[in-house]
Structure 1
Amino acid sequence: MSVATTLKTLLLSGIATVAISASAYAADMILKLGHPANEQNTWHLASVKFAEELKALTEGRIEVEVYPNETLGKEMDVINGMQLGTADMTITGESLQNWAPMAALLAVPYAYKSLEDMDAVASGELGDRIEAQIIETAGIRPIAYFARGPRNLTANREIKTPADLNGLKMRVPNVPLFLNVWQALGASPTPMAFSEVFTSLQNGTIDAQENPLALIKSANFAEVQKYVNKTEHVRSWIYLTISEGAWAKLSEADQGNVMEAAKRAQAYERELFTAQETSLVTELEAAGMTFVDVDNAAFAAAAKDAVLNSVSADIRPDVEALFAR
């Protein structure tokens, strides 16, 4: 073997070794993203999309491990883990009001008139202030947001105006704001665990319940409820977030890559969400449910005082501004 051939062989060997080494250590950072949704949920699919996009944008230097179904812990546990450095990312919303009072604005009854109206707020000046407070007080950075399906009232009778609610026995989650609003609207709300709702509707303990279409379908409420009254009383969004600790470890360029991947994931989730909301209407109608248009303006007007009296003083001026638009 000539000297030149030997040198060439050694050089190629060295290049191969470097390539193998680079491949073995391709991921300079691994981010753990835990969330409560299952693998079919749009939030999970968008999380996977975010991981794929970030890996591509950083040429494999940053990978995201996605943990659905609370496998990394329940929502509050993951948030605490992000603050302690044992978790990096999650999907969370108004639960952050434990640290940032403005996070309650994500889910105020009748604060947002439509999906487009909600988008304008979430991506506007008020949304910026909410995000800034979350970063400052919770140590968690929102990087994208996903829409949640509006909550609608199901019952075995049509409900078009607040007057139609008179005495209606309905289940609400154990949220004082929701309880106060439905009482003000004329219903008889009862806090109840979600696991008890189907049986309670079946045996007549309650007459109605309220939830997004996805839960109405997955809980098989079509078997015990005839109407979906389109109250759309709560429109809300939820954030894809990263801990400030993980964010600080990123270079400025990679912070830009994270934000670009998040932007793409947000757009992807919105496509999935829009298609799902349309298909859910078709599926619930096929299951025998009838959709009923309601006087949303009348509901909002009747609920306003109860909403304002139920929110904290910290956010009341912002809620008043939302109702005044």
Structure 2
Amino acid sequence: MKNIKLFMLLTAFTLLLTACGGNDTASTDEGGDSGDTIKWRMGHLADEDHIWHETSLKFAELVKEKTDGQIDISIYPNNQLGGETDTLNSIRSGNVDLLITGETMQNWAPKAALLAVPYAFRDSDHLSKVVEGDIGREIEEDIIEEVGVTPLFYMERAPRNLTSNEPITSPNDLDGFRMRVPNVPLFMDAWETAGASPQVMDFNEVFTGLQQGVIHGQENPVDLIHSGGLYEVQDYVNLTEHVYSWIYVVVGNDQFEALSDDLQAAVLEAAEEAKAYGDQLFEEEIQHYHELLESEGMTFHEVDQDAFRKVMEPAIEASLTEEQFELYQKILEVE
């Protein structure tokens, strides 16, 4: 009887030790973190073949790798999360986390208008000096404070060109020409002064608008002209090259600030590497898009760029606030 009692006591003691040991193992597995994966949603307006999408996928891959899987980014192309304005509002309300966006942000941050001022930048080299210098940092600070998003890295865009079904050589050819522009007041004013009839329209509505004759043309870089399939409803790429610009990958301030210092550093490191990857794609693919559009039947038509520049200058000065115009003049002075 005594042996049975002793056996039962030892068995109970052993079970107690095993249970305690199991709890210690579970605690160690958690590693001091919650163990929860942070899931971010990222949107953009281009299709799956576009360099923005390829760069986004690379960025998501790098973030996952550098955070040991703690941050998982899902990419939604083709405006699946809504147009730029809607998605920016969704980021501000916490329903979306990241977006590729540009001059649309001027609706909150006035200095973001300088991302795409007609004929402000001479070439790619001039643009990079501005973006990576004091002027670029000033614009980014305005975006952080006023839009509520943090730029992680930028991508250069191919020059914006005007598309149409009849060749356009000078502003004289714009009489009665209905064209789509993004929700950027400066674009509206510049093209209206040039003689066109511009109207705001989300990019995902442009193809149908052209197909149905609601608009006669639009203006975008060659990559988005191809991405949007506009070669099916437009015959000419008129080489106005009226805007050299850049675009940001942004994350919501709240979402970014919620990360630990280590995770923030990992995201920024991933952003730097993704930018280098995107730059390489840009160099390789812009000429490729030009060739693709020609193969789809579009004609690249030379225009009188000086005439467009001259006719738009008064609208640019009138449209910019005193603060914006001061920044614009600083851009022109960068050597």
TM interval, short-chain normalised: 0.7 to 0.9
2:240 matched residue in structure 1? 231
In the alignment, structure 1 residue 32 sits paired with structure 2 residue 15: no
TM-score by length of 1: 0.79
Contact 2:231 2:293 in 1 (8 A): yes
1:5 matched residue in structure 2? none
* Cα distance change of structure 1 residues 41 and 167 upon mapping to structure 2, 3 Å threshold: same
Q: 1:307 aligns with which of 316, 322, 329?
A: 316
* Cα distance change of structure 1 residues 209 and 54 upon mapping to structure 2, 3 Å threshold: closer
Shift of 1:166: 6.1
Shift of 1:307: 0.9
Structure 2 letter corresponding to 1:115: S
1:191 matched residue in structure 2? 199
Contact 1:34 1:71 in 2 (8 A): no
* Cα distance change of structure 1 residues 133 and 175 upon mapping to structure 2, 3 Å threshold: closer
Q: 1:45 aligns with which of 49, 54, 70?
A: 54
Percentage of matched positions with identical amino acids: 37
Q: 1:273 aligns with which of 272, 282, 292?
A: 282
Shift of 1:224: 5.7
In the alignment, structure 1 residue 137 sits paired with structure 2 residue 150: no
Matches for 1:174-189 after TM superposition, within 5 Å: 175-185=184-194, 187-189=195-197
Q: Secondary structure at the match of 2:212?
A: helix
Which ranges of structure 2 fall in alignment gaps of 5 or more residues?
A: 1-17
Q: Secondary structure at the match of 1:111?
A: coil
Q: Secondary structure at the match of 1:245?
A: helix
Contact 1:55 1:61 in 2 (8 A): yes
Contact 1:75 1:92 in 2 (8 A): yes
Contact 1:177 1:311 in 2 (8 A): yes
Contact 1:34 1:73 in 2 (8 A): no
Q: Secondary structure at the match of 1:65?
A: strand
How many residues get paired? 308
Shift of 1:154: 2.8
Matches for 1:53-202 after TM superposition, within 5 Å: 53-155=62-164, 158-160=167-169, 162=170, 165=173, 167=175, 169-173=177-181, 175-185=184-194, 187-191=195-199, 193=201, 194=206, 195-200=208-213
Structure 2 letter corresponding to 1:198: Q
Shift of 1:130: 0.9
Q: Distance in 1 between matches of 2:79 and 2:287?
A: 28
Q: Deviations over 1:79-120 (max 9, x none)?
A: 334334443322222222232111111121111222232222
2:273 matched residue in structure 1? 264
Shift of 1:44: 2.5
Aligned-pair RMSD on alpha carbons?
A: 3.4
Q: Deviations over 1:264-316 (max 9, x none)?
A: 11222222233332111112222333323444344323322211112233312
In the alignment, structure 1 residue 244 sits paired with structure 2 residue 253: yes
TM-score by length of 2: 0.77
Q: Distance in 2 between matches of 1:236 and 1:155?
A: 21
Larger radius of gyration: 2
* Cα distance change of structure 1 residues 62 and 188 upon mapping to structure 2, 3 Å threshold: closer
Shift of 1:222: 4.2
Shift of 1:231: 0.9
Contact 1:31 1:88 in 2 (8 A): no
Shift of 1:221: 4.6
Q: Secondary structure at the match of 2:65?
A: helix
Q: Distance in 2 between matches of 1:221 and 1:65?
A: 27
Structure 2 letter corresponding to 1:200: G
Q: Distance in 2 between matches of 1:98 and 1:192?
A: 13
Q: Distance in 1 between matches of 2:260 and 2:227?
A: 43
Q: Distance in 1 between matches of 2:272 and 2:39?
A: 17
Which ranges of structure 1 fall in alignment gaps of 5 or more residues?
A: 1-9
Q: Secondary structure at the match of 1:40?
A: coil
Q: Distance in 1 between matches of 2:188 and 2:51?
A: 29
Shift of 1:39: 2.9
Structure 2 letter corresponding to 1:266: K
Q: Distance in 2 between matches of 1:56 and 1:250?
A: 16
